[in-house]
Structure 1
Amino acid sequence: MPACLIYMTASNVKVALVVGASRGIGRQIAIDLSKHGYAVVVASKSTSDATKVHPFPPDPNSQQSTISTVAREIQENGGEATAIACDTRDFTQIQQMVDQTIKKYGRLDVLVYNSGAIWWSSVEKTPMKRFQLMQQVNVEGLYGTVQAALPHFQKNDWTGRIIVISPPIYSRFFRGKTAYAMGKVGMSVLTKGLAMDWEREGKTNMAITSIWPATAIQSAATENLAREQASDLRKPTIFSDAILAMLAAPVHEVNGCLELDEDFLRKKGSTDFEKYNVVPGSSPRRIMPMEFPDLTVKEQADEGNRMDSTALRSKI
């Protein structure tokens, strides 16, 4: 029997696929899922020869940190990890990534989509190529990954969780970064819409949840801030702790929710946030609002004559 199947049979371990796991937040999510008993597939474009990285482990926010080093780090700490290279702009590669996950471990329990392209500027100063890159990685990459994963959740009797790194929907988020916001909010729309699909279809063991940081988190994206205003930063462990709490929460509490890391942890009873501060004793500035608009309407339950293009096509 192959070693991987022996591992599966012996532990019946749950499997998490973390897409965008080479650095920063994604790396931390993968490592902490492993610490909580998951076999973790770490996926991203960046690979390397992890045996030649010295000192090890590398700076988690540097170019030396790749899915290869993250997998090695997990393995050296006694966990199970596999690195799979994937460019999320290519749906064929996405399908291969999910297929390789299933071939290796035989199941998929948790999908985390952390891949993202960033460009914060006005519409005028956002070139078309940059806009297209963000839509390909952020929106299309997420949609493709979810599409590739759904058949395997179905084989698991529609039991599983999807975590999306995308924000609550509110108008201030669009300011100064419209092109970026179009993609990230689109990801949150997928969270809302897929959750509604599952509720209508009676898939009561599936949940999809979006999560976003309430305060800036130490990562490659905040490198300049880390040098100048480290007191405004929190460690990425606040984000991974919030995700672990989401995975432990009942489906009805998290399905279709657009959450913030700190606020969700507070709802689940956490009170000690000092441990997450990059600078001990500091009070990191909150970058997100305290309250968000309610996206529901009075007619929420009225579907009217709902059109289903699949059904219509079958009649043609």
Structure 2
Amino acid sequence: MSEEFVTLTENTGALKDKTIFITGASRGIGRAIALKCAADGANIVIAAKSAEPHPKLPGTIFSVAQEVESAGGKALALQVDVRDEQRVQEAMAQAADKFGGIDAVINNAGAINLSNVESTPPKRYDLMQDINSRAVYLTAHLAIPYLKKSDSAHILSLCPPLNLQPKWLGPFAPYALSKFGMTILSLGLAEELREAGVAVNTLWPRTLVATAAIEFAVGSREMFEQSRRPAIMADAAYEVLITKEAALSGCQLIDEELLVERGVKDFTDYAHNPDNAGDLTKDLFLD
């Protein structure tokens, strides 16, 4: 079973009948964003590779679709590899056909490997560039015609603010390049689409978030004790999506900072272990 999702900020109904296309939405942060938006009455396109249950990673596109429907939204479960141009194009068309358009694209799917250049095999390097930075280009390229027809269009990518200090580059430059590539593309898209009224933002967590990436790619499940739950990113993403008139477009956002601006004062319950809320670890790329 996937972790229970409990939202900690109020829903406004602003996303009712809006169509949100979320990559990698079968688990973790993507799933949390899907359920938060579904509770607001949104149509959720669950675009992820996970169609079959995994012994170590709970959640599939179909299980999340059921959760979306139970939360109050409408769901479309699509098996999508964000590296596959034709499949992404087909998925966009399927989403628009079913729901009448696309209002937001959330680039949540990601690949991580924290190794330096010498230790990173070419296949792993290519995987990170394709799933991280190239996917931002590809989803935007294919979604823009739909987004331009929306009166509240957003592209939101989960990537860090630019921070080119050597301490973040030396240990894992290939991964850093892929994530900063997402950010640079997002900054460029914000300018490119400003006159069209399409808001483009990046969002990154202040602390580690308890996901499979932390458990299997960064450290171990014990690191969850120094992490927050995916709900904090879901609540922050929701605040981005309900922001009108592209007021935040071009901003490189941090979940905690945005939520403070929106009135959240107590972050204790976001912690994976609320009793340990004062001893959390900052995420990568943040000083």
Tell me the distance in 2 between the aligned counterparts of 1:122 and 1:92.
32
Partner of 1:168: 161
- Name stretches of at least 5 consecutive residues in structure 1 with no aligned partner: 1-10, 292-316
Amino acid at match of 1:14: K
Tell me the distance in 2 between the aligned counterparts of 1:179 and 1:289.
14
TM-score by length of 2: 0.86
In the alignment, is residue 102 of structure 1 matched against residue 106 of structure 2?
no
Q: 1:139, CA displacement in angstroms?
A: 1.6
Q: 1:226, CA displacement in angstroms?
A: 5.8
Tell me the distance in 2 between the aligned counterparts of 1:160 and 1:142.
15
Q: How does 1:195-274 map to 2 (within 5 A)?
A: 195-199=190-194, 202-203=195-196, 205-223=197-215, 225=219, 227-274=221-268
Tell me the distance in 1 between the aligned counterparts of 2:192 and 2:150.
18
* Identical-residue share of aligned pairs (%): 34
Q: 1:229, CA displacement in angstroms?
A: 3.6
Structure with higher helix content: 1
Instruction: Tell me: CA distance 1:154–1:289, structure 2 relative to 1, closer, same or farther (3 Å).
Output: closer
Q: Choose from 68, 83, 86 the match for 1:74.
A: 68
Q: 1:39, CA displacement in angstroms?
A: 0.9
User: Secondary structure of the residue that 1:259 maps to in structure 2?
Assistant: strand
Tell me the distance in 1 between the aligned counterparts of 2:125 and 2:148.
34
User: Secondary structure of the residue that 2:135 maps to in structure 1?
Assistant: helix
Does the 8 A contact of 2:38 with 2:71 survive in 1?
no
Partner of 1:44: 48
Q: 1:227, CA displacement in angstroms?
A: 3.2
Instruction: Tell me: CA distance 1:153–1:229, structure 2 relative to 1, closer, same or farther (3 Å).
Output: closer
Per-residue deviation, residues 250-285 of structure 1 (Å, max 9, x unmatched): 445310111111111112221110010111232113
Q: In terms of mean alpha carbon deviation, does 227-236 or 105-114 score higher?
A: 227-236
Q: How does 1:1-316 map to 2 (within 5 A)?
A: 13-48=17-52, 62-156=56-150, 159-172=152-165, 173-199=168-194, 202-203=195-196, 205-223=197-215, 225=219, 227-282=221-276, 283=278, 284-287=280-283
Amino acid at match of 1:184: K
- Report the RMSD for the aligned CA atoms in angstroms: 2.2
Instruction: Tell me: CA distance 1:276–1:184, structure 2 relative to 1, closer, same or farther (3 Å).
Output: same
Q: 1:179, CA displacement in angstroms?
A: 0.4
Instruction: Tell me: CA distance 1:269–1:12, structure 2 relative to 1, closer, same or farther (3 Å).
Output: closer
User: Secondary structure of the residue that 1:190 maps to in structure 2?
Assistant: helix
Structure number with bigger Rg: 1
Does the 8 A contact of 1:91 with 1:141 survive in 2?
no
Amino acid at match of 2:87: Q
Does the 8 A contact of 2:163 with 2:285 survive in 1?
no
Q: In terms of mean alpha carbon deviation, does 139-148 or 224-233 score higher?
A: 224-233
- Name stretches of at least 5 consecutive residues in structure 2 with no aligned partner: 1-14
For this pair of structures, how many residues does the alignment match? 267
